[in-house]
Chain A
């Protein structure tokens, strides 16, 4: 496939637009806790900071390739074409939600847009992604499966079992380990042997004798190049690769865990809230992948500042409509709860 430097102007603008859509969507989710308390139940996890990694990865997709993320899963379907309103309506527990109110933020699914499911249990989705790749291999569909998971998942048994078997079976799957430095609330240097030793997490690939690379996950073009090599390899029948995409999660793990009727909101990032490390968080904010990509595209003449503003405005307008739609969507009928237990 083309390298990042060969991507067309339209493709680059598409990438920027998708990154903005993810950021704006996540901002709206976060604001909902303040502006419409109670509309979002349970636990929601945001992908702000992951935009370059998500879009850079998915820009390498072919039409039928599948995507299986973890529970932090709002961003991927936005890029895959799931209507944003159906995603927001799901998070708002509405009938028009993409899962009709059965799943919520952690369990989005839209197989019609190549997103079979997400598991809310850390690491289990890695095995499901390998299973989807096994189906593609047996049925000879030519599909590649993208498995996205966090650094926390890379300490789960499912990770080790699945990467070994995926390597043995040469499954067409690309494992994208999103290293955002925090496993829920725990800093990576408290729980990852590689991190403690100062080694990249991509080193874990050596245990399975597969390629493992670490990439700057705040640069969508670098992510694109790293992932595209892994995708080409997978599609050629040479098996899986592990990409460690390093970026910083700009929001805390999730909204605060409270017991109703105590309201819940997003608080400060763990860096500040738990570890008192404001400098780390400020540095991450200064390294915002969207700001950087915007400046890059203006700098190389892909678009002008005015063009970028137009995109920003259109994304805001889209998400205005999305929130309005989701708020207006009816709640499901209580008795719908007995549907879909069995196929």
Chain B
């Protein structure tokens, strides 16, 4: 039996249940746990649930140190961009210390942040920063698109013995979806086929999965069968599931909210060029944000970001059913 749950609620339930299961899990960040009435403080006390000042380097650096000494910290960072002010901890400390120590330490921590807030937050709070982290060995990146995945990936993130950047898309926050009963867990590195199809493979993450599924629905009405794949984790990246799908469909459209040259899609396109070229019947098509910062005004924001229409057009172009340049 599945239960209906909001995306944000699924994350909170995962954190709560993991904290109940494992006393070494701690949870802290800015503007949380402000009073004794806070539900996490009530359940787990002020040692394990804490409020911090606006100090991302200290927040994440303390997580790294605590993780090496037996805790499993979850740092609530709110917005992925806030990690940028302390990026050394994300890319040059947390994922490197195990390696540099010759495997003597492990750094199990979760950096949790929302991203992609395409609701008028403009240039500094709407971005997709995952590309900058994808090439960092030792770091894992989870990017859920449904309530069930949000819960299951958070459980995996907390249990993982490596640093994990857990990115939840702001535009999905209040979406409801079914979540399996019990200790639902989603393993890292396993893509999910969100919709099966035969004519074209669409790969997307987070909010773009929702848009791609809507596009697939439109295409279905026109007799085009699109398969929609959500990698769910960008590191590790399940390239095999994508290659297997391309083997079947021969066509690939990559949808990504990030600007083209800072997208996960550009990495996936490279993998397919290397490992799946012979299965392609048409060039790989990328539907990404334009190479701009995100503008404030609504019509410009929409212009810059991928849309259902842009996805539909891209699919038609790789099917050679539509001559328009995309």
Interface residues of chain A, those whose CB is within 8 Å of chain B, are 66, 68, 97-103, 107, 109-112, 116-117, 119, 121, 124, 126-139, 157-158, 161-162, 164-165, 168-169, 339-343
Contact = CB atoms under 8 A, between A and B. Distances in A.
Interface centre among A68, A126, A157, A161 (most CB of B within 10 A): A161
A107 B138 CA distance: 16
A116 B105 contact: yes
Contacts of A162: 55, 57-58, 61-62
Contact of B108 (A99, A165, A169, A343): A343
Given A131-B62, A165-B55, A343-B98, A124 B88 contact: yes
Contacts of A128: 61-62, 64-65, 68, 93
Interface centre among A97, A130, A339, A340 (most CB of B within 10 A): A340
Contact of A158 (B53, B57, B137): B57
A30 B36 CA distance: 56
B66 A131 contact: yes
Contacts of B59: 165
Interface centre among B55, B73, B138 (most CB of A within 10 A): B55
Given A126-B61, A134-B71, A117 B66 contact: no
Given A131-B69, A132-B69, A169-B50, A341 B99 contact: yes
A130 B65 contact: yes
B103 interface: yes
Contacts of B103: 100, 102, 339-340, 343
A100 B98 CA distance: 12
B65 A165 contact: no
A109 B100 CA distance: 8
Contacts of A132: 65-66, 68-69
16 contacts: A99-B102, A119-B93, A124-B88, A124-B89, A124-B92, A127-B58, A127-B89, A130-B65, A131-B63, A131-B65, A131-B68, A133-B65, A138-B48, A157-B57, A164-B58, A343-B162
A134 B241 CA distance: 41
Contact of B104 (A110, A136, A161): A110
Interface of B: 24, 26, 47-48, 50, 52-53, 55-71, 73, 88-89, 92-93, 97-108, 137-138, 161-162
Contacts of B56: 161
Contacts of A126: 61
B69 A117 contact: no
A150 B70 CA distance: 27
Contacts of B107: 343
A138 B26 contact: yes
A124 B108 contact: no
Contacts of A98: 102
A101 B102 contact: yes
Contacts of B53: 161, 164-165, 168
Contacts of B65: 68, 116, 127-135
B93 A121 contact: yes
A134 B63 CA distance: 9
A80 B282 CA distance: 63
B138 A66 contact: no
A337 to B, nearest CB: 9
A262 to B, nearest CB: 26
Given A138-B26, A165-B52, A102 B101 contact: yes
A102 B137 CA distance: 14
A99 B101 CA distance: 5
Contacts of B92: 121, 124
Contacts of B162: 342-343
A129 B58 CA distance: 10
Contact of B138 (A116, A165, A342): A342
Given A131-B61, A131-B62, A132-B69, 17 more contacts: A98-B102, A102-B100, A111-B105, A117-B100, A117-B101, A127-B64, A131-B69, A132-B66, A134-B66, A139-B24, A157-B57, A158-B57, A158-B58, A158-B61, A161-B61, A341-B98, A341-B99
Contact of B64 (A131, A164, A169): A131
Interface centre among B53, B102, B105, B107 (most CB of A within 10 A): B102
B104 A99 contact: yes
A165 B29 CA distance: 12
Contacts of A102: 99-103
A343 B102 CA distance: 11
A293 B133 CA distance: 50
A181 B48 CA distance: 40
A106 to B, nearest CB: 9
Nearest to A138: B47
A169 B26 CA distance: 14
A1 to B, nearest CB: 23
Contacts of A138: 26, 47-48, 66, 71
A133 B88 CA distance: 21
Nearest to A104: B100
A119 B97 contact: yes
A299 B134 CA distance: 62
Contacts of B61: 124, 126-128, 130-131, 158, 161-162
Contacts of A110: 104
Given A109-B105, A138-B71, A165 B58 contact: yes
A110 B89 CA distance: 21
Contacts of B50: 169
Contact of B62 (A103, A127, A157, A342): A127
10 cross-chain pairs, A with B, having the tightest CB-CB distances, nearest first? A131-B65, A127-B61, A128-B65, A161-B58, A100-B102, A135-B69, A161-B55, A343-B161, A340-B103, A99-B102
A111 B68 contact: yes
Contacts of A133: 65
A259 to B, nearest CB: 23
A278 B22 CA distance: 59
A165 B99 contact: no
Interface centre among A66, A99, A130, A132 (most CB of B within 10 A): A132
Nearest to B63: A131
A161 B89 CA distance: 13
A165 B55 CA distance: 8
